[in-house]
Structure 1
């Protein structure tokens, strides 16, 4: 339905596009010579039509990815205790705000630095796009059918995801001010550097590494950053006792379920927008593989948890959907329909055992973020080599490089914060709940 709306709007191009009289009066862009050739051949209107359609799809996809942050917020708050709901929502508001602003100031041009040494190049503010036609159509050539600012706004929505993943794993005991400093550095510095290694033409790109929409660059990056923070922070009070593991129940499963379905809806923009155009064949394949992997992930987790835990666990089923989505994110554009089902189902099985293993290892992750994003992100990256024509060792090296970088960066930053300002609230604050102790507010009146 979204594509139907896009195609309908895309025909509302300037009247001159139909009679091929002259091009839009815009600042010169990098594809002007090619467009002049198309115009001379009577093919200008179809080219402009394609750019318009693709740009419209790009901004819709960006809006869908933005909606995912509401999904993260509702999922995280639903799976945690009600006394920490305001704190969780506050963190998510901060993350998306600081993530987009830092990406505008220096993240985007660090992420896409142009010619550089393959490892690092610090970029300036997004305003630099003006010199290259950031507001004009045709930016980046026909292989990137959007404006420069269209490219920015879509990529900016990805930038905050890594810290959002960490937020869920450290929920209910992290000190707000320390987390805010960490999030600023994680999304503002670490993510653009790691992203430049692949999407910015860096060392991983040169090796032929495949990660379509970010199973490694976004999800494993966030997942292993979360693991580092949890190791520094420690588990919630009362979670692990001498008598064993004490479950800390979710306070609102309906809210958690809404969050997962919002995330799945937004994932159509996350993966679909990563096509970087409105090319019908690629979009159709990506939407299909994404949907099938999510459904297979849900079933894989449902039946695995039912068998292994002797009960059909809703939280596992919800995480199974996300596991399937993370698993297909690296390869949605290159695998077959059948392969997407296998990838999703395997991710659903993996996430159950990963969550159980971490819990038995006394690594407290209230929402399963490390397993969903970290472990299944690695699986999705390796699946590119198993189900498509990519080198397994290159995929493994890329996944390990990004994951290790995220882990080391997060561990060092969180350890420094622990020494300087502390990263954990007091026992009394944790027992009372962060809504009251950090914010003086409550999400619920009774």
Structure 2
């Protein structure tokens, strides 16, 4: 259990709990709540949260670099919109689904917007304020900081889908899918472990979300890619026709932004920074996260040199991301050397998945399925190698349950959108490009025929 609602070992904050519970003077209670541990834990969530929020820029730049020039503005718009929709849906219903506490499988009855703590913890009376402050000491950090940290995780899930199905899906159907993904699908899956659901009871372990975040997005993307179909011209006459990226420097920038944001993604998932041990563990997580990405890059470079006789920079970019996804399920327990190996294997698996998708004519523009789904599954299954509290069987159950639920709901939503408002633009619009056809703002107007 690694999210709000669980009592943490928080040093000074927990030590102060009995006194806080008995305090009658609200000033004394609030001062006790504002202990050093409480403050540093909250700051960890906020700093980690804005680092993960910066990953939204990384996804936008990565996708803008990997799509063709005629679709760059559309990808930028989709990333701006999906982050905003994720925030609204997670406030309106997603957060309460995640922490409903009413069911081990789904938060029935959890509809309703998230309500922040009152300003200054003033709940309307001395007694109410005292109780609120006492409750906050029990969790060890402010409720709003946890909401923000969880919200940016939710948005990350939607970003994964955006890149896979780029260049051949209309704006509004995509946004409607994001509404369901961020308001319902992701929160329910995350609740299975982080909200004391059935996977948590079984002992499933996913430290920062290789399955709960990355594979959830990956499964939704895979189903979408199958139902929507490939881009025009990608598979013709039984042959694969590669469609080159438009801007490798931009994609590289996106990768480095994501790499930076991952320190917040994994590091802040320690959920505590109020003790020497916690801060030391956060530091260890930073190192393991970084080295897994480095291992992923080098593995991709060596693999493409040996396999294709030339180094593929796009696979080097995705090798870093696959390494990061693979280590996300357990970034604390492994040694540095093992973290490098985990990142490297995740990268190789992602590289091997690319031609496999082409074999089945599944068009993934940015390689999100190999990176987030395949490396996410591997990272989750390998957790027991370094974490003795986890078991391979339970890890596999978590992966399977996520796959069944996400694929089933995603298939229903994608299919309903397809038969009602339609998913794809016309062939003419797809050829012209969605920048011109749907939003009228080309990213590179000098390249627009005119």
| Contact 2:98/2:107 (8 A) holds in 1 | no
Q: Which aligned pairs between 1:80-91 and structure 2 lie closer than 5 A? A: 80-91=67-78
For residues 76 and 258 of structure 1, the distance between their equivalents in structure 2, rounded to whole angstroms, comes to 11
| Contact 1:135/1:148 (8 A) holds in 2 | no
Match in the other structure for 2:404 = 404
- 1:202-239 Cα offsets, whole Å, 9 max, x none, are 01000000000000000000001100000000000000
Q: 1:31 to 1:121 in 2, by over 3 A?
A: farther
**Aligned pair partner of 1:79 in 66, 80, 92:** 66
Match in the other structure for 1:291 = 290
Q: 1:70 to 1:34 in 2, by over 3 A?
A: farther
- 1:404 deviates by 2.0
Q: Any runs of at least 4 consecutive aligned residues in structure 1 with deviations exceeding 4 A, and if so which? A: 29-32, 34-38, 44-47, 128-142
For residues 375 and 207 of structure 1, the distance between their equivalents in structure 2, rounded to whole angstroms, comes to 23
For residues 16 and 142 of structure 2, the distance between their equivalents in structure 1, rounded to whole angstroms, comes to 12
Match in the other structure for 1:264 = 259
Match in the other structure for 2:386 = 387
- 1:113 deviates by 1.2
| Contact 2:21/2:134 (8 A) holds in 1 | no
- 1:284 deviates by 1.3
Q: Which aligned pairs between 1:178-193 and structure 2 lie closer than 5 A? A: 178-193=173-188
Q: 1:235 to 1:138 in 2, by over 3 A?
A: farther
For residues 59 and 231 of structure 2, the distance between their equivalents in structure 1, rounded to whole angstroms, comes to 20
Q: Which aligned pairs between 1:104-143 and structure 2 lie closer than 5 A? A: 104-123=91-110, 124-127=112-115, 141=137
- 1:421 deviates by 1.0
- 1:159-203 Cα offsets, whole Å, 9 max, x none, are 112221111010000011111111111111111111111100001
Match in the other structure for 1:4 = none
**Unaligned stretches of 5+ in structure 2?**
1-11, 24-30
For residues 246 and 143 of structure 2, the distance between their equivalents in structure 1, rounded to whole angstroms, comes to 43
Q: Which aligned pairs between 1:354-393 and structure 2 lie closer than 5 A? A: 354-389=353-388, 390-393=390-393
| Contact 1:166/1:226 (8 A) holds in 2 | yes
Match in the other structure for 2:322 = 323
Q: 1:311 to 1:106 in 2, by over 3 A?
A: same
| Contact 2:97/2:106 (8 A) holds in 1 | no
For residues 138 and 335 of structure 1, the distance between their equivalents in structure 2, rounded to whole angstroms, comes to 36
Match in the other structure for 2:430 = 430
- 1:336 deviates by 2.0
| Contact 1:292/1:337 (8 A) holds in 2 | yes
| Contact 1:133/1:148 (8 A) holds in 2 | no
- 1:127 deviates by 1.2
- 1:343-369 Cα offsets, whole Å, 9 max, x none, are 101011111001121122211001000
SS at match of 1:160: helix
- 1:334 deviates by 2.1
Q: 1:159 to 1:420 in 2, by over 3 A?
A: same
Q: 1:443 to 1:168 in 2, by over 3 A?
A: same
SS at match of 1:347: helix
For residues 415 and 58 of structure 1, the distance between their equivalents in structure 2, rounded to whole angstroms, comes to 37
For residues 109 and 397 of structure 1, the distance between their equivalents in structure 2, rounded to whole angstroms, comes to 25
For residues 62 and 347 of structure 2, the distance between their equivalents in structure 1, rounded to whole angstroms, comes to 18
For residues 136 and 302 of structure 1, the distance between their equivalents in structure 2, rounded to whole angstroms, comes to 54
Match in the other structure for 1:10 = none
Are residues 1:303 and 2:302 paired? yes
Q: Which aligned pairs between 1:86-105 and structure 2 lie closer than 5 A? A: 86-105=73-92
**TM-score (normalizing by structure 1):** 0.88
- 1:91-149 Cα offsets, whole Å, 9 max, x none, are 1111110101111111111101124344333422111755797997675555x431011
SS at match of 1:291: helix
**Unaligned stretches of 5+ in structure 1?**
1-19, 24-28, 39-43
Match in the other structure for 1:50 = 37
Moved more, 230-239 or 326-335: 326-335
Q: 1:149 to 1:53 in 2, by over 3 A?
A: same
Number of aligned positions between the proteins: 414
For residues 275 and 387 of structure 1, the distance between their equivalents in structure 2, rounded to whole angstroms, comes to 17
**TM-score (normalizing by structure 2):** 0.87
Match in the other structure for 1:26 = none
